[in-house]
Amino acid sequence: MDKLVIEGGVRLKGEVEISGSKNALLPILAATLLTDEPCVVRHCPSLRDTNTMLKILRVLGKAADFDKGVITAAANGVTNHVADYKLVSTMRASFCVLGPLLAKHKEAKVSLPGGCIIGVRPVDLHLKGLRALGSEISVEGGYCIARTRGLRGAHMYLGGEYGSSVLATDNVMMAAALAKGTTIIESAACEPEVADLAECLIKMGAKIKGHGTPTIEIEGVKRLKGFDHTVIPDRIEAGTFMIASLITRGDILIKNVNPRHLMSVIDKLQEAGVQIRMSGSSMRVSIKSHIRPINVTTLPYPGFPTDMQAQVMALMCITPGISVITEKIYPDRFMHVAELNRMGAHIQREGPHAIVEGVKQLSGAPVMASDLRASAGLVLAGLVAKGTTSVSRIYHLERGYENMERKLAGLGAKIRREKE
């Protein structure tokens, strides 16, 4: 395994190009299972998760190729409705093949998912929605086994204990696109990645209204065709580089970003005294004076994203005063707290709250990544810490950030990859 070694204290400046959204791409790749026609997906990030999904598609009967950011997928003559444990267990998003397989083949056997260790993330909303469409689902031996004589539209509520579910909304929306009749999803996820999937499905011939709002209406069609679609920019990568600029007191021009997808983050950072200049698909992020402490609560979109929680915590670690960060999506998503404290941070956890007392200086230390976004938070802390920080288990980072160390090095960071 590799690790990242960071020499802290360098002010970052320059330009960085944001990659395509991982969280939009993976369900769109699953949507290729809804048709036998060729599909083209552009602006695809080269990530571990991308390659995992391509392996799953190939197992399920797709010829899938990836070249210079473009993925092409088409039927290869093989029919398979079983997504096995070895692949699905490594990545939670792969569970969204369940809906397309069920809609296309009327049966599916998909392993229960894996992914980052950020707390319990059940699949009950996925199963609830697909059952409402007329499928019979059982869980046996770690697999979801689903069958249907024909999916039918339904009116359903998909809200959960901690709000709406992005992947459950994706799964049901894809299945409903080929169901007979009309489906209405109440308490649907509003994330831009869900809307991007809907736009892709519409190109395939699906009839969808209301995507990007809590109520989505899908009128089923008999068949779907191939598509050519460009994935939206990754708002979480963009947000991470915003924090990279601020934590190093730098000046970074972030290109290929949609500021509308980051308004909750922009609002909180402006509250902290940050200067953000937006122009089209670019943002320049810098600091006029000292940053002020802020209180942050993660919420479903358009609220502050849980995927930015670790990064903003790293920034608050060196911000004078006391900040309170409340996690309402995954209350156990605080594995990075202990590692940040090893670097000299003063963070106390109380249930779903992290109380952060800013310190003058973090100190470089060996730290271990526990999940994708925690990895990013530790790298950000390393950029500003005094001395050397080594971040182990960066395979988590490689699941969601394309060439992160290369992009940071291009901004002046002293960062290198080494073998553990």
Q: Which residues are catalytic?
A: 116
Question: Rounded to 5, what percent of the chain is helix, strand, coil?
Answer: 35, 30, 35
Edge-to-edge order in the sheet of strand 414-419: 366-368, 388-392, 2-7, 414-419
Task: Detail the DSSP E strand segments found in 256-380.
Answer: 274-279, 282-287, 296-298, 322-327, 346-350, 353-357, 366-368
Burial state string for 180-216 with b = 16 or more CB within 10 A and e = fewer than 16: eeebbbebbbbbbbbbbbbbbbbbbbbebebbbebeb
Beta strand spans in 341-387 (E): 346-350, 353-357, 366-368
Return all residues near 207 (Cβ < 8 A) that are at least 6 apart. Answer: 218, 219, 220, 221
Angle at 200 between CA 71 and CA 82, to 5 degrees: 65
Radius of gyration of the chain (CA): 21
Amino acid identity for residue 384 in this structure: V
